[in-house]
Structure 1
Amino acid sequence: MATSEELHKRRVEAVARGVGSTIPAYVDRAGGGTITDVDGREWIDFAAGIAVTNVGNSAPRVVEAVRAQVERFTHTCFMVAPYESYVAVCEQLNALTPGGFEKRSALFNSGAEAVENAVKIARHATGRPAVVVFDHAYHGRTNLTMALTAKNMPYKHRFGPFAGEVYRVPMSYPLRDGGLDGATAAARSIEMIEKQVGAENVAALLIEPIQGEGGFVVPAQGFLPALREWATAAGVVFVADEIQTGFCRTGDWFACEHEGVQPDLITLAKGIAGGLPLAAVTGRADLMDAVHVGGLGGTYGGNPIACAAALASMETMRELDLGAAARRIGAVMGERLRVIAAGDPRVAEVRGRGAMLAMEIVVPGTLTPDPAATAAISAACHAAGLLTLTCGTYSNVLRFLPPLVISDDELGRGLDILAAAFG
C-alpha cells in the first residue's frame, strides 16, 4: 500500500489545487471514533466527515443494507423506474421531522441541492421572488447557495456574479451583539426585512437553527420562534436548514425541536445516510405538492444505495438512541471545554448543543478574532493525533463534531490532546 507521502505526490499531479484537505494523511479505514491512515497512524475523530458519520464509519446496519442493495440493483433513476426504498425514506422523514401537519419529501444528492430546491419550492408556491438569509450563514457552494452564503473566502471569492433577489439580515449572535435577547434580535431583523425588502415580496426565510460554517452560532432563546411567528403571519415560507444540525447531532432529531419550532420546509443531508450522498427537502404537503410534475428531481437524487443506507442509519439512530448519546457527549465535552476556557483568556466563549460544540478564539481581553491562534491550536491537535476543524466568518472558531458512537475512552483521549494543544 502506498504511503501518505507517496499518495500526496500523486495527488499534486492529479487533483485540482482548489480542493483542500485538513490533514496530510490518507485514510485506510475508520470506525467508531477513530480514523487510521495508510501509514497505520490513528486519529481520534472530532470531525465525523463534517457531521456526516453520526452513526460511525461503516456502521454494521449500513454496510449490510448497502451490500444487499448493490447485489439487487445500483440505479434506475426514480424518475424513470421508481423503487420502494425512495418511498420508505420519504415516509420516515415525513414522520420524524417537526410538525404534525401532512408532509411530503423529495430526495436529492447534496445539501446545496436541497437548499436550491427548497428555494424553488417556496418561490413556486408563493409566487414571490425574494429570499431572506442571515449574517454568518452557510448554505452551499453552487451559484445560488453561494449567494445565500455570507462568507467570501474561500466560498465566494471571484466566483460571481451570483443569483439575485437574496437579502441578508442580522443574526442573533449573543457574544457579538451585546447579549441581545432573542425577541429583540428578531425584531431588528424583521424591521430590516419589512423596510428594505417588503414582506409581501419574500418567498422564503432561510435559517440554520444553529449556524454551521459561520461559527456554530447559537441564537438567543426566542429568536427562532419570533421569526417563525412573523413568517406565518406574513405568508413567508420558513425554511430550516438542518443539514449540519440534523439526525441527532444536537441531542434531538433536529435542532429546531429545542424551541418547538415547526418549519414549513426543512433541508436535510450530511448525517442522513451514514456517509453516502443523499439529501432531502421535507415539508408541508401543500407547498411540496404545489410544484408541477417534473419540476423536481435529478438523475441520482434518491439513489437506491443511498436510500438503503439512510434507512439503516435511521434505524441505528433509534436502536442506539443517538440523541441521548449526543447529549452525553455534550455534557462530557462541554465540561472539559469550559475548564480549558477558564484557564485560557483566548477563549471568548464555549457554545453549542449536544455533540455540536465550539470554542471562539480571540485576542485576550478583546473580542478581536484571532484566526492565527485558532489555526495553531488546531494544527497542534492534528500533530498529536486529533482531527479537529475550524470555522467561523472570522476563521477563529474551533468546532467539534465527534461521531455519536464515539467511546468514552476515545472521547477522553481526544479531549486530553485538545487540552494539551492549548498549552
Structure 2
Amino acid sequence: MDTPHDRESLEEIRDALKNNNPALAIAKIQEYLDKQNKTPLNIAITGECGSGKSTFVNSFRGVDNKAEGAAPTGCVETTSVVTPYAHPNYPNVTLWDLPGVGTTKFPADQYLNHVGFETFDFFIIISATRFTENDVKLAREIKRMGKKFYFVRSKIDSDLYNERRSQREFNETETKELIRDNCIQGLQEQGIQSPQVFLVSSFELHLHDFSLLHETLERELPEHKRNALLFAMPNISQQIINKKKEAFHDKIKYVATLSAAAAAVPVPGLSIAVDVALLAGVVTQYIFGFGLDIPSLKRLAGNTGVPFNDLMSVITSPLAATKITPALIIKVLTQGASTAALMVAEEGSRFIPIIGIPAAMALSFTTTYRALNGFLNKLADDAQKVFEKALRRNTTD
C-alpha cells in the first residue's frame, strides 16, 4: 500500500543519493525500515477476577505463564493496577492487563478514566462464564465513548474437557454453540444488541475462534494499524503466515526502487553497499515477523513442549535462527549464480555511456526484487514447517 509516509521517505532517500551522500542514504533507509514497525497499537484486556486475562496476554505474546516478563496468573485477582506488556518482537504493540471492573472501587463510568481510556485502540472483555453486569456496564461506556470492544469467552478447552467426560454422546461443535448462545442470550438480556462472542482457549489459540477474532479486529482497525496487529500475531494458522507473507511482499517494490535509485549514482561499490544494507534490514523484519529468531523459537518450544532442536531441524533457510549481517547476506546472494551475475552486470553497466545508468537501475531493481522474493518464500516455508511441527506435538499428546 503506497502511503504518504512511503512516498516522503523514498524522496528523502533519493535526495541523499542524488547529493552523493551514501551514508545519509543508508541511514534514511534504516529509518524507513524501522518506521514500518513503530505504528503503536494498544490493546486493553479486562474482565472479572479469574477470567483468564493474564493468560490471554501471555499467550498472545507467545510467552509462557512461568517465563520472566509474563503477566502474573492465578486463581485470584493478580492485577491491581494497569500493567503494560509489550510484544517481545514488536514493542510498538502493547497488551494492557487491566484490573477487573468488579475488583476496583470505581464504577464502570469512572473505571475507564481511571485506567486511561484514551490510551487504548480497543478493548477485549474476557469472561470464563457468562458475562456479568459489570462487563455489560463497561461495554456500554466503551461504546458511549466511541471505541470498540470485543467479548471473549475464555477457557473453552476446560469446558470441552469437562463436557466430554460427563456426556455419553459428546459433540464438540454443538457444545460450543450452546456455550456461545448462552453468552449471547445473557448479553441480550442485559441490553447488548447483536453481541458477537468469540470462544477462545489461551492454551490452544490455533483452535476455536481466535482466528475469527483476528479477522474481525483486522477488518475494524484503521488501515495503518492492521499490519501492526498482523505481525504481532502468533503463527496460529497457515492463513496468518500467508497474510504476513503477503504484507511483506507488498513492500518489496519500494525496497527495489530504493536499490534502483542507488544504482543511478556513479560511485563504485555504492549500489552494492546500499543493497546489502537494504536486504539485511528487510530480512531481519521477515525473521521477526515469522517468529524464526532464536528467542521466539525457544519461547515456542517452551509453550508447546516441542524440543528447540526439533523445531530447528525443519528449518532450511540459512537466514533463519541467526543474526542477519551484511556479510551473511552477501554470502547467501553469491551462492546463487544468477543473482551474482546480475550484481556483477549492474556494477559494470553503470559506467557505460548514455545507457549505463538506466541499465544499472533496471538490473539493481531486478536483483533486489528477486533476492527478497526468494528470501521471503523460503522463510515463509520455514515458518509453516515450524508451525506444523509444533502443531503435531500439540494435537498428538
- TM-score calculated relative to the size of structure 1: 0.27
Question: Larger Rg: 1 or 2?
Answer: 2
Structure with the bigger percentage of helix: 2
Structure with the bigger percentage of strand: 1
